[in-house]
Amino acid sequence: MIEPVIYLDYNSTTPVDARVLEEMLPYFTRYYGNASSKTHRYGWEAAEAVEIARRKVADLLSADSSEIVFTSGSTEAINIALHGLALNYGDRKKNIITCGTEHKAVLETLASLSEQGFSITQLNVSRDGTIDLQELKTHLNDTTLCVCLMMANNETGVIHPIEEIGALCHEKNVFLFTDATQAAGKMRIDVNEMHIDILCISAHKFYGPKGTGALFIRRKNPSVKLAPWITGGGHERGLRPGTLNVPAIVGFGKACEVSTELFWEEVSRLSSMRTRFEQLIEQQINITINGSIRNRLPNTTNICFNGIEAARLIRELPTLAFSTGSACTSALPEPSHVLKSMGLTDKEIFSSVRFSIGRMTTMEEADAAVQKIISAINKLKV
């Protein structure tokens, strides 16, 4: 019998929750209308389902449904937001503040804006993955268009103090754009309390389907105007034209609803499982946990197995699904840009891996994973 693989890579993607799938299915075969068809019932039913989902996504963020634009995921949302801001306000404000631990979707988009004449300020990141708010304050000025800092990091789980960052931004009339892709479902998000102007999330990171996500774009105090970056038939307020993926959007809405229902129970279950996982490993092996221990997502641990190469560890553990932060697409893997920004050496980075647990992870699986990891490390040490 083939041994099952224990999945510990929830930050990469999650399985679709059974409740989400059930909600989606009729929209493939029965209610298959185009949500833009205004002349018949198929279209009206699809459009109504999209609006119900929009309400559920807005509720997850404590936003208004009119502030939600559906996209194909966070990468697209990030491009629409940053290019849209640049196109609309870039003649007056040409500076964007960020830091090196952001996702490549943000960093590459900012690199492209830099080629178009924007100045990108990179804040320093400390060894624990956090930034200094005093430093941020010194950079905010009349030329600053936006601060672009993620809510929680995908590799380390480290959380930025978005509420305080938002308050600083609003004092200086600067927009705050936060990538909440990893935070959704794992942290409470309130766009008003947190002074967020633009935010993106992606359904497949919290038990929804792949290929759908959303942008929150603030309508009041201040009202944010994005210029369209993609052109087409005017769907989604002209910001994301293209036929809406109705089944995925319906599933996205359901994923938001389920995650709100389960929130407290899930956060407490995952954080105690993560603590146990780390402690059991620490009792037997010399490890360092990368990133702030205190301000972290409840499901993520980024561990440096001092002196053991992560690539070898991964090869030694074919029945565990976990990852390094490195881009492994090339023959020579790049060291994780996140850990590099935090000041880790290449040796430390190449000895670091990320485990991320989720809704379907059982304590038995987590314990079995620990045993496998310990045996693999002991084998690699000799």
CA 213, CA 80: separation in Å to the nearest integer?
Answer: 12
Residues touching ligand PLP, count (CB under 6 A): 12
Contacting residue, 150, 199, 250, 270, with ligand PLP by CB under 6 A: 150
**Phi and psi angles of residue 74, each rounded to the nearest 5 degrees, phi first:** -75, -35
**Phi and psi angles of residue 160, each rounded to the nearest 5 degrees, phi first:** -90, 145
Mark the segment that binds ligand PLP (CB under 6 A) among 68-76, 167-175, 250-258, 331-339.
Answer: 68-76
Amino acid (one-letter) located at 264: W
- Contact pattern for ligand PLP over residues 14 through 53, marking x by CB under 6 A: ----------------------------------------
**Residue 52, token pair as written in the block:** 């119900």
The least CB distance from residue 205 to ligand PLP, in Å, is: 7
CB 216 within 8 A of CB 198: yes
202 binds ligand PLP (CB under 6 A): yes
**Residue 284, token pair as written in the block:** 């037997």
Contacting residue, 73, 298, 325, 358, with ligand PLP by CB under 6 A: 73
**Phi and psi angles of residue 257, each rounded to the nearest 5 degrees, phi first:** -65, -45
Contacting residue, 144, 154, 245, 326, with ligand PLP by CB under 6 A: 154
Mark the segment that binds ligand PLP (CB under 6 A) among 111-119, 176-184, 256-264, 282-290.
Answer: 176-184
User: Does an H or E element contain 280, and which?
Assistant: helix 246-284
The secondary structure of 209-250 as a DSSP string is -TT-EEEEE--SSSPP-PPPSS-SS-TGGGTS-S---HHHHH
Measured from the CB atom, the residue of 151 and 370 that comes closer to ligand PLP is: 151
Mark the segment that binds ligand PLP (CB under 6 A) among 109-117, 177-185, 250-258, 359-367.
Answer: 177-185
CA–chain centroid gap for 61, Å, is 14
209 binds ligand PLP (CB under 6 A): no
CA 139, CA 115: separation in Å to the nearest integer?
Answer: 21
Contacting residue, 54, 56, 83, 103, with ligand PLP by CB under 6 A: 103
Contacting residue, 9, 17, 23, 179, with ligand PLP by CB under 6 A: 179
Measured from the CB atom, the residue of 27 and 177 that comes closer to ligand PLP is: 177
Catalytic member of 99, 169, 200, 328:
328
Contacting residue, 8, 49, 60, 74, with ligand PLP by CB under 6 A: 74
SS3 371: helix
Please say if 328 is a catalytic residue: yes
**Distant-in-sequence, close-in-space partners of 376: CB < 8 Å, separation ≥ 6:** 313, 316, 317
The footprint of ligand PLP (CB under 6 A) covers 73-75, 103, 105, 150, 154, 179, 181-182, 202, 213
Show which residues are catalytic.
Answer: 328
